Structure 1
Amino acid sequence: MATKPRAIFEDVTTTERPVPVAGVIDRGRPDARRWVRLWLLALFGLVVVMIVVGGLTRLTDSGLSITEWNLVTGTVPPLNAADWQAEFDLYRQSPQYELMNRGMTLAEFQVIYWWEWAHRLLGRVIGAVFIAGFLGFWVARRLASGWVPRLLALGALIGLQGVVGWWMVHSGLQDGMTSVASYRLAVHLGLAFVILGLIVWHALLLSRRETELMTARRQGEGRLFSMATGLVHLLFIQIVLGALVAGIDAGRAYPTWPDMAGGVLPPGPLDLSPVWRNFFENPGLVQFIHRTTGYLFAILAVIVWLRARRSPHASTRRAFHFVLLAMAAQVALGVWAVLSMAQLHVAITHQAMAILLWTLAIRGRFLARHPVAATIRG
């Protein structure tokens, strides 16, 4: 039987090409990534509000106004005069009232109570949103096996944060204490930023399909990624140091810049005994360390930005432009906070800018690992 001659450009085989199979993250319903990412972004927004409200709670000395931890019944605030009086009576038994707020009226107590109640309510809402979202996606089989452990780890950290929060508050209810222990405050804030960072990273991973991420990773810039990783680590240390500053009110200690009481070092930097306590409890030295780490971070941010300018990917270059701008704004806010003796609106803006800088630095690190390749048209 004669064979029909092929056209000059006809394919040699007539076998149909196989349809590409999605990776484990992309299997299931096609809109799974989008909805899981939206859920994570909702959690991101709640955690941001939680950190800001937590900062306001600390700055207004409201964190010890609720002296009990009732996970369920504590959701409902006092609803009548008798309930308010009962809460106020509990607070009047605390060291903070005895040593700092003796003579406070019920109306004044209600102000600090609402800050702490709102902070705890946000924690409960975050936990509920996580549990409802995770179970909903899991029952609907929209969570691939590769993502279940990641999200469970995130949920475990959110639960741990609630425990750390009460552990922190409990320290402030001990004899002689008028505020929470600065070490525990640093752990609490540090864990909040870890949770926020994981949410950002997961949301970025879900913004593109797995096949796109694999292709992008082959184009990743290893050196820039390593430098960005170092930048993120140093920023985390600076954030924890900021919590130590807030925990002992060190931000109000020396309202001058760039000097500290006329010198490079504050007076009596090693007055406490044993010596190691000065690095965590001496207001002058703690503020000096926080300032110095800020300078080091600014220098490293400029170095990373100079390296990122040579990136062939426009989105990566833009990402580090934003990091540099946020860093400059944060340094300016830090100086303003010092000169204003950490006034409420300045201090909380400084903390909010730390959230933005943290998010932008993680995004820059992500794009160094998974760049967005530009088309020929740019």
Structure 2
Amino acid sequence: MLAICFMLIGMIALGGYTRLTGSGLSIMDWRPITGMIPPLSHAEWERQFALYKTIPQYKILHDGFGLAGFQKIFWAEWIHRFWGRLMGFVLLLPLIWFAVTGVLSRRLTARLILFFVLGGLQGAIGWFMVASGFNPDSTAVAPVRLVLHLCCAFALYIAILWTALSARNPEPEFIPATPAVVRVHRLAWLVCCIVATTIIAGGFTAGTHAGFSYNTFPLMDGHLIPAGYARLHPFWLNWFQNIAAVQFDHRLLATCTAALIGGTIFLGLRTPQLGRPAQDALMLMGWMVLLQYALGVTTLLLVVPVWAGTVHQTCAALLLTTAIIVLHRLRGVGRV
């Protein structure tokens, strides 16, 4: 399960790379089984390229870039899809072996089967996202579908990671439920929630290409709050469609996340009842949020180069990982 978590982080990184390079629409057909085999002949390459030429993205962004250019973006998307299929095998084959040999409990077996089914569903959601980019008036996938695909990936990752950590340490270490410990525990839950919300906001930032605007920090076009924040009506549309609002919200959430994690670490280190493992996890989370915040600012100031955007998305998964580890190590609060 930890190996699958590692592969999921790689999948999230590959997803960021395909999005930033505009590779996601290069494969025009969804073949869950035979799609594992890439084009093996020049005729098949030409067929795939001809399909790609029919969508607006090619005509507007890549017109005339030739078969070699198409092959470059095709391989990025193919590897992303192949990696997903490979994860299915890495989960299914050991699951069958361990279930047959009686190593796994029925409950854990059922949970792993559910993960396998949800992984297949995630592939279908990915195609649902990609299909939105084939519309005559579109050159990219719909932001809402992009965020849906991203959220499902992270939700599956959290479930598998928590299951893996619980299998590795099935008995939680008892932590006395003092007022200070309970306060830190509640803050850890809040940290997980705000990190997840910031990731969702980052998905909308990516989907609307908001990172290519207002490339200064901390001000946006000379203002702390951009002038056009509330230009759409009804107001809530600004959170999902208004580039100024989408980027500002992501900045604000990221700053609140860093501040909340800093406060949680401060209180946690002053609470010896938490124990060394939980405090070590808090410190790891602190270093991770500093790295992620710096990467976010760097990505913005450099106008979203592919390498920075990919690493930023990957580190979001790593930050969430540290937050889940903190919460998992505190699951013994008040238990006898």
TM-score computed with the length of structure 2 as normaliser: 0.93
The one-letter amino acid paired with 1:323 is M
The answer on whether the counterparts of 2:122 and 2:153 sit within 8 Å (CA) in structure 1 is: yes
The answer on whether the counterparts of 1:266 and 1:285 sit within 8 Å (CA) in structure 2 is: yes
Structure 2 residue 202 is the aligned partner of structure 1 residue 202: no
Q: 1:79 & 1:153 partners in 2: Cα distance?
A: 34
Task: Sort the Cα spacing of 1:311 and 1:152 in 2 relative to 1 into closer, same or farther, 3 A.
Answer: farther
Give unmatched runs, 5+ long, in structure 1. 1-39, 372-378
Q: CA deviation at 1:266?
A: 1.9
Structure 2 residue 302 is the aligned partner of structure 1 residue 340: yes
Deviates more, 1:88-97 or 1:267-276: 267-276
Structure with larger Rg: 1
Q: 1:168 & 1:133 partners in 2: Cα distance?
A: 30
Q: 2:233 & 2:44 partners in 1: Cα distance?
A: 45
The answer on whether the counterparts of 1:222 and 1:369 sit within 8 Å (CA) in structure 2 is: no
1:266-310, Cα deviation, whole Å (9 max, x unpaired): 232233344432211111110000000111111111121122111
Structure 2 residue 118 is the aligned partner of structure 1 residue 157: yes
Q: CA deviation at 1:63?
A: 0.2
Q: 1:350 & 1:50 partners in 2: Cα distance?
A: 14
The one-letter amino acid paired with 1:163 is A
1:356 maps to 318
Q: 1:297 & 1:263 partners in 2: Cα distance?
A: 21
Structure 2 residue 72 is the aligned partner of structure 1 residue 111: yes
Structure with the greater relative contact order (CA < 8 A, sep ≥ 6): 1 or 2? 2
1:131-152, Cα deviation, whole Å (9 max, x unpaired): 2122222111111123233223
Q: How does 1:173-322 map to 2 (within 5 A)?
A: 173-208=134-169, 210=170, 212-213=171-172, 216-217=173-174, 219=176, 221-309=181-269, 310-312=271-273, 313-322=275-284
The answer on whether the counterparts of 2:28 and 2:51 sit within 8 Å (CA) in structure 1 is: yes
SS at match of 1:206: helix
Deviates more, 1:127-136 or 1:180-189: 127-136
Deviates more, 1:47-56 or 1:217-226: 217-226
1:155-185, Cα deviation, whole Å (9 max, x unpaired): 2321221111011001111121101111111
* Greater share of helix: 2
Q: CA deviation at 1:109?
A: 0.4
Q: CA deviation at 1:222?
A: 3.8
1:169 maps to 130
Q: Percent identity?
A: 36
Q: 2:278 & 2:239 partners in 1: Cα distance?
A: 37
Q: CA deviation at 1:330?
A: 1.1
Q: CA deviation at 1:67?
A: 0.7
Give unmatched runs, 5+ long, in structure 2. none
The one-letter amino acid paired with 2:258 is A
Q: 1:323 & 1:251 partners in 2: Cα distance?
A: 25
The answer on whether the counterparts of 2:205 and 2:243 sit within 8 Å (CA) in structure 1 is: yes
The answer on whether the counterparts of 2:175 and 2:330 sit within 8 Å (CA) in structure 1 is: no
- Superposition CA RMSD, Å: 1.6
Aligned length: 328
The answer on whether the counterparts of 1:222 and 1:368 sit within 8 Å (CA) in structure 2 is: no
1:92-150, Cα deviation, whole Å (9 max, x unpaired): 01121122222221110000000000001011111122221222221111111232332
The one-letter amino acid paired with 1:58 is R
